[in-house]
Chain A
Amino acid sequence: MPICILEDIKKTYRMGDIDVMVLRGVNLLVERGEFIAIMGASGSGKTTLVNIIGCLDVPTSGRYILADREVSRLSDDELSVIRNEHIGFVFQNFYLLPYATVLENVLLPSLYVEKSKDDFVKRAHDLLAIVGLRERTKFKPSQLSGGEQQRVAIARALINDPDIILTDEPTGQLDSKTAGEIMDLLVQMHDRGKTIILITHDPNVAKYANRIVTMKDGVIV
């Protein structure tokens, strides 16, 4: 079974009096363990789609099956649980909590797990070692470089051992050398079995993926 099945996903935003259809019937299958890049012009609906895949938003119509479960009509609380268990987010602007240490930032998703039994602190240390920040656990985000902050974000995305890592322009704020390092890390995670869905404008970034899909005017072409 594919990890994500999207069938005829539509998303309409209401702007004043008129409805603007941003997604016009997206069909997409993502297999477990795939590394897929979504490309397309600005405004084509990539972020909107990824928000739905990440259960941050719900489609106006269509079916979305994530890890064998229909999630397109779930309540806010249920979506929170799905995000917590299945999705790890890595954002363009890192989005770390400024007042929390590196370790605390990595642990953030573990605060909201339903049934806590793992030793998350040990896991967080292991992940920080993998992303090369073993010595920085007590730092604040402001004391780190952009590349280091994105490494923390990757460790955070992995703390609950999700099925999918969703990332929208993870290298958008980084120079090309650092961007390469971050992409290498994502490849490493892919090699460990994670499904990775990446949005990018940059063909150099997209080439790390196994498959590239392109969006145009709210559909996949």
Chain B
Amino acid sequence: MSDAGRFLRILSQSAKAVRSYTLRTVFCLVSVAFGIASITLIVAATEGAYQKAFEIVARFGPDSLLVFGGGEEARATGRRQKTITLDDIDAVRDAFSTAYLVVPMTAMRDVPVSYRNRKYQSLVIGSTSDYSRVWTWPVVQGSDFTDDDVRGLRNVGLIGQFLASELFGDEDPVGKTILIKRIPVKIVGVLSERGTTPTGERLDDRVIIPISTIMRKLQNETTYVSAMRIRFLDRENLYAHVEELRTFLRARHKLPTEEPDDFTTVSPREITKFLVALTGSLVAFLGITGVIALVVAGFVIANLFLLSVRERTQEIGIRRAAGAKRRDIMFQFLGESVLITTLGGLAGFALAFASSKLLTSVAEFPIHFSSKAFVVGMVLSWAVGIGFGLQPANRAANLKPIEAIKG
């Protein structure tokens, strides 16, 4: 209606002033841009972290648990304890009816692996023919090893893609025999590519052989394994199972009540916690910077606008004489501050986008820009524009026409 027309006419006056008072515009705009940039980055980083967490949990398996030998303390001090036995694993399989996969694993790090004259230090894992299934990690070339391979202590293995290219280059690894320490192992299959964890660990740098083979031939071990991985049919009860499993294993290990656990359970929840902690430091830093920057921007706006109102008293008088109402003056000055902060918000978003490219290229940091980050940035810039523009606009509106016109 005509009111909307009036509003638009006044807004166009705001736009003219924003264009004309360049210095004021630039100062306000830049200070808002920095604040909005940091805050947009936070939103994008938090979203990125959650997305990454979901991805990692999905990969880890939302229905899965991983139980390591050794309590929290032992793991924290770097001492690896072997407390989980093959019998534990059989017992868990029997006791938990919804555990459809219970798979033992034993890991050896930095083991010399070679093919002809190429050598590499890699991670060797012993497991069963269920390894690929329990990690949802398909064999993309060749085939999995079998139960017979495990029962027969055969020297067969699956290889990760990174190690495969280190040892074989462009050659097809399937059917070739590598040496793990002095044991010849025939590669029967290649695992799909998994990439790198947020901590920089190469997941594709590994070789998987039957658990029986690793225990007898590389470790001279009959009883203990490093870990077990369990998948449940009823993922909704996962955290109940964590407790049941704990009681079950404590009983089997005959731990007195005062003794801490001699094993550690990793669930999707732990993984999320870890990731949130990783992101948390950046969020905290940017959060503080962003809030400070926005408050500073707010004060810059409030002061420059008060100055502007003083400088433009006569303009206000002329407008009032020409028939502008108080609220027309109010809208004009608020319009000026909101237009500037909107531009500042857009500039901030662009700045955040550019610096996120830098961040992700320097450190592989999960940042995800969505409409949410944009909306948060815009809403905040409007809030700053209105919040800190209000007082100067009010002062302008409350000037008496006869006083104002005298200048």
A interface residues with partner B (beta carbon < 8 Å) = 51, 54, 56-57, 76-77, 80-81, 83-85, 89, 91, 95-97, 99-100, 104, 108-109, 111-116, 156, 160
Contact = CB atoms under 8 A, between A and B. Distances in A.
Contacts of B20: 99
Interface in B1-25: 2, 5-6, 9-10, 13, 16-17, 20-21
B218 interface: no
Interface of B: 2, 5-6, 9-10, 13, 16-17, 20-21, 314-315, 317-326, 328, 401-402, 405
Most buried by A among B2, B322, B328: B322
Given A99-B16, A99-B20, A116-B5, A108 B322 contact: yes
Contact of A104 (B2, B16, B402): B16
B394 to A, nearest CB: 14
Given A99-B17, A99-B21, A80 B405 contact: no
A56 B402 contact: yes
B405 A83 contact: no
Contact of B323 (A57, A85, A91, A99): A85
A97 B322 CA distance: 12
A112 B321 contact: no
B321 A56 contact: yes
Contacts of B9: 111
Contacts of B322: 83-84, 89, 108-109, 111-112, 156
Contacts of A112: 6, 319, 322-325, 328
Most buried by A among B9, B314, B317, B325: B325
B58 to A, nearest CB: 58
Nearest to B398: A76
A137 B324 CA distance: 23
B318 A95 contact: yes
Contacts of A51: 402
Given A57-B402, A84-B323, A108-B322, A116 B2 contact: yes
22 contacts: A51-B402, A54-B321, A56-B321, A57-B402, A76-B325, A77-B326, A80-B325, A89-B321, A95-B314, A95-B405, A97-B318, A99-B16, A99-B20, A108-B322, A109-B322, A109-B323, A111-B6, A111-B9, A111-B322, A113-B323, A115-B2, A116-B2
A114 B318 CA distance: 18
B36 to A, nearest CB: 27
A86 to B, nearest CB: 10
Given A56-B401, A95-B405, A112-B6, A80 B323 contact: yes
B328 A114 contact: no
Given A77-B325, A114-B2, A115-B2, 8 more contacts: A83-B320, A84-B322, A108-B318, A109-B322, A111-B10, A111-B13, A112-B319, A160-B323
A80 B320 contact: yes
A104 B19 CA distance: 15
B2 to A, nearest CB: 6
A56 B321 CA distance: 7
A57 to B, nearest CB: 5
Contacts of A115: 2
Contacts of B321: 54, 56, 83, 89
A89 B404 CA distance: 15
Nearest to A47: B402
Nearest to B321: A89
Across chains A and B, which 10 residue pairs bring their CB atoms closest together, nearest first? A84-B323, A99-B20, A112-B323, A109-B322, A80-B325, A56-B401, A111-B9, A95-B318, A89-B321, A112-B324
A213 to B, nearest CB: 21
Given A84-B323, A95-B405, A112-B323, A100 B16 contact: yes
Given A56-B405, A116-B2, A76 B326 contact: yes
A159 to B, nearest CB: 9
Nearest to B400: A57
A81 B405 contact: no
Contacts of A96: 318
Nearest to B12: A111
Most buried by A among B323, B326, B328: B323
Nearest to B404: A56
A81 B2 contact: no
Contacts of B2: 114-116
A100 B315 CA distance: 11
Nearest to A157: B322
B22 to A, nearest CB: 10
A199 to B, nearest CB: 14
A116 B17 CA distance: 23
Contacts of A111: 6, 9-10, 13, 322, 324, 328
Contact of A97 (B5, B315, B325): B315
A51 B400 CA distance: 12
A97 B324 CA distance: 14
A81 B5 CA distance: 16
Contacts of B402: 51, 56-57
B4 to A, nearest CB: 11
Contacts of A113: 323
B207 to A, nearest CB: 74
Contacts of B317: 95
Contact of A91 (B5, B13, B405): B405
